[in-house]
Amino acid sequence: MGLGGLAAAAAEPNTLTPQEMSQGWKLLFDGRSLTGWHGYEQSAPPTKGWHVENGCLINPKSNGRPNGSGGDLITDAKYTDFEFRFEWRIGKGGNSGVHYFYTDGGPRRSVPMYKGDKGDSPMGFEYQILDDAAYPEAENRLAASIYFLVAPTNKKLRPWGEFNEGRIVVSGNHVEHWLNGEKVAVCELGSTSLKQRIAASKFKVIPGFGTKAITGLALQDHGEEVAFRNLKVRELRH
């Protein structure tokens, strides 16, 4: 294979380049199956909703509510310090997210966080995925925000129907959200500023919210069409 062929192979979605492999990156989605994923508080992938289509991990539009289709999709593997990169595409008016710092398999959450909540979805930090144009008033709930806690700034969001590049970094107590190559939201776990924001949010009723813990990565089923591809993670060593 010539150099042109190698370059084309490296550009294929849902693959790792030799450089990425040497840097410790691992694929979370092979572009063909739900291997490595399970439903929230389940031992296997959901039997409806989430599916693979044209190299993308897709949740279809349903009722526009959390758990409207197959429920949230969780990585089998868990992480403490990590960098997670992913591409996401939302439908018109759509809403989804990536959750982390939540409990999977522990006592069911008893405090309802939204209408109809039965504690059957993860509740932790969230990288918000949103069609911002449909929610102009959202501010700290816009795309790439640390949902309800830190509003994104200086971002360049591509419109619904186009893929955006997301990135979550957790290193020690430092948390970053990136969008299309730009760092747009930051916080420090345990800081006075973050504690004040949590205390002023709906999350104040969840004991220990904002505490760092080993965590899976959860793709949210919000009853809206969303697609993911090129999901890659690497553990960060200190």
Q: What is the mean pLDDT of residues 155-160?
A: 97
| Whether the predicted pLDDT of 4 surpasses 50 | no
pLDDT at 11: 62
Tens digits of residue pLDDT in 121-156: 899 999 999 999 999 888 899 999 999 999 999 999
First and final C-alpha spacing in the chain = 39
Helix (H, G, I), strand (E, B) or coil at 213: coil
CA-CA distance, 163 to 227, in Å (whole number)? 9
CA-CA distance, 38 to 17, in Å (whole number)? 26
Which domains does the chain possess?
18-235 (2.60.120.560)
Give me the numbers of helices (H) and strands (E) for the chain, helices first please: 3, 13
C-alpha dihedral over 15, 101, 46, 61, to 10 degrees? -80
User: In the structure, what pLDDT confidence band is assigned to residue 9 with cuts at 50, 70 and 90?
Assistant: very low
CA-CA distance, 67 to 25, in Å (whole number)? 30
Q: Which residue has the tokens 């759509």?
A: 94
Burial (0-12, 13-18, 19+ Cβ within 10 Å), 193: exposed
CA-CA distance, 68 to 217, in Å (whole number)? 19
* Mean pLDDT estimate for the chain: 92
Which residues, listed in sequence order, are joined to residue 85 by a DSSP beta bridge? 167, 232
Tens digits of residue pLDDT in 45-91: 999 999 999 999 999 999 999 999 989 999 999 999 999 999 999 99
Q: What is the mean pLDDT of residues 190-217?
A: 95
pLDDT at 238: 73
User: In the structure, what pLDDT confidence band is assigned to residue 1 with cuts at 50, 70 and 90?
Assistant: very low
